[in-house]
Amino acid sequence: MSDSFENDTNSEVKYGSLKTLTVLTFIGCGLGYIFGCWGYFGADKQVADFEKNMNNPDMPDFAKKMMTPEAYENVKLLAANKLPIFLLGLVATTLCLVGAMQMRKLKAQGYYLWLIGEILPFITTILFVNVAAIYSGFAIIGPIIVLIFLILYTMQRKYLINK
């Protein structure tokens, strides 16, 4: 009976931080689905709100600095291309989810599925909006989080022993 317990604790060690990373990925995928739907169904409202706020004299100074013509063009491009952005976002989020589930089973292919799912939104943004949209304002948080997860998952690849 004690041998069984020791084997269970030893199998937990083989995971490293992989279980924690995959749980965080599951949470991120859930948020990705929610915000993807929100972005699709609210794209036209975002354009209208941006126009309204650009002309609002009561806006704080820091907010006025973000209301540039370039940012307005980016919001309009997002709204104009909302369907392909939405669909590719769903594909990317699903790849991340399936990849995390595969990594939970210690399958190396899961890492590559997850990686494609993480890179696809950046490619989509570059294709349908522009490169500057990725690195402007609060949008810089996304690439930083992806970079952190890329480093952490790459460090855990040694535990992905199943084909």
Domain ranges of the chain: 18-159
pLDDT tens digits, residue range 79-105?
Answer: 999 999 999 999 999 999 999 999 999
Question: Is the pLDDT score of 7 beyond 50?
Answer: no
Provide the pLDDT confidence category of residue 3 given band limits of 50, 70 and 90: very low
Residues 84 and 88: their CA atoms lie apart, in Å, by 6
Residues 139 and 116: their CA atoms lie apart, in Å, by 20
pLDDT tens digits, residue range 108-126?
Answer: 999 999 999 999 998 998 8
pLDDT tens digits, residue range 142-163?
Answer: 889 999 999 999 999 988 888 7
Tokens coding 133: 């949209």
Q: 10 Å Cβ neighbour count for 115?
A: 18
Q: At what angle do helices 43-54 and 69-80 cross, to 10 degrees?
A: 160
Provide the pLDDT confidence category of residue 14 given band limits of 50, 70 and 90: low
Question: Is the pLDDT score of 2 beyond 50?
Answer: no
Which residue type sits at 31? L
How far is Cα of residue 160 from the mean position of the Cα atoms in its chain? 22
The answer to whether 156 and 17 have CB atoms below 8 angstroms apart is yes
